[in-house]
Amino acid sequence: MARSVAKTKELIQQARQLPPREQLALVQSILEEFQQQFERAEPGVQFLDLSRIDMAEEVAQFTAFVQHRGRSLEPDEQFIGGLTEEEYFALTEPERQALWDRLEADATRALARKKEIEVDSSYRPAGQGRRPKALRK
């Protein structure tokens, strides 16, 4: 740290000897470098790594939650899209995706004309003043 501070002071001394226009160009190039470093350090995307996670424990926790809050369906009871649970889980992945796409498209059409809500000064951006929480246990 001390070394980088000394190096920075040295660079500032050197920069002071440059003509104003070159000083400005130097500052701009340093700012661009900081921006690039920031973007590399904050890619904005996190990837969930399952390799260190005890999946059995996770599934048990999730199952306990669902069983506590929900209830199993009767075999002939409708699950989604007019299908029973058994019929739904018998679909192939593309068929399931097509079903969800159709339902989503229906909902989008139904809500397309809904007007946007005015945002008055009582609203605050989510997480204002702090970084997003990491998804840790």
Distances (CA, A) of 47 to 16, 54, 96: 44, 17, 25
String of contacts with another protein for each residue 57-86, x by CB under 8 A: -xx-xx--xx--xxx-x---xxxxx---x-
Buried residues in 104-119 as b, exposed as e (16+ CB within 10 A): eeeeeeeeeeeeeeee
> Segment contacting another protein (CB under 8 A): 5-13, 14-22, 23-31, 114-122?
114-122
Q: Which residue has the tokens 């990837």?
A: 47
Binding site for another protein (CB under 8 A): 39, 43-48, 50, 53, 55, 58-59, 61-62, 65-66, 69-71, 73, 77-81, 85, 100, 103-104, 106-108, 110-111, 114-119, 121-128, 132-133, 135-137
